[in-house]
Amino acid sequence: MMPEAPWGMSTRWLTVILIDPKRFGATREDVRLRLEKQNIESRPAWKPMHLQPVFEGCRAVGGRVSERIFELGLCLPSGTGMTREDLARVVEVVLS
C-alpha cells in the first residue's frame, strides 16, 4: 500500500496491480479467473478514454502509460472493511 499522510487515513478505494506475464508467469486474465473461482471479485483496469469508441479519431496526448495500465492492470478488492484474513486470502490466490 502507498504510505499514508500523517494527517489522514486512506479509504483504500482502489488497489491496482500490474501483472507482466513474462515476469509473473501468468496473465492478468489468468489471475482474474483464478480469483473468480475463489469467489473473489476483481476486474481489469479501466479502458483509457482515448481508446473508447466514442473518442475514435480524436486527438490524444500521451496515452502509452494508460494503455499499459489497461493491458496489465487488475483491480483487486480493497476497502477499509477488509480484514487481514481477507487480504491474506487475496494475496494467497494471486501468488498461487
Q: What is the pLDDT of residues 33-89, one digit of tens each?
A: 999 999 999 999 999 999 999 998 898 887 789 999 999 999 999 877 889 999 999
Strand-pairing partners, residue 76, are 15
Task: Assign a CATH topology to domain 16-95.
Answer: Aspartate Aminotransferase, domain 1 (3.90.1150)
Whether the CB-CB separation of 78 and 13 falls below 8 Å is answered with yes
94: closest CA among 46, 44, 27, 49? 27
Site of grid cell 486512506? 10
Please tell me the pTM assigned to this model: 0.81
How much is the pLDDT for 1? Answer: 66
C-alpha cell at 24: 509473473
How much is the pLDDT for 74? Answer: 97
d(CA 74, CA 90): 12
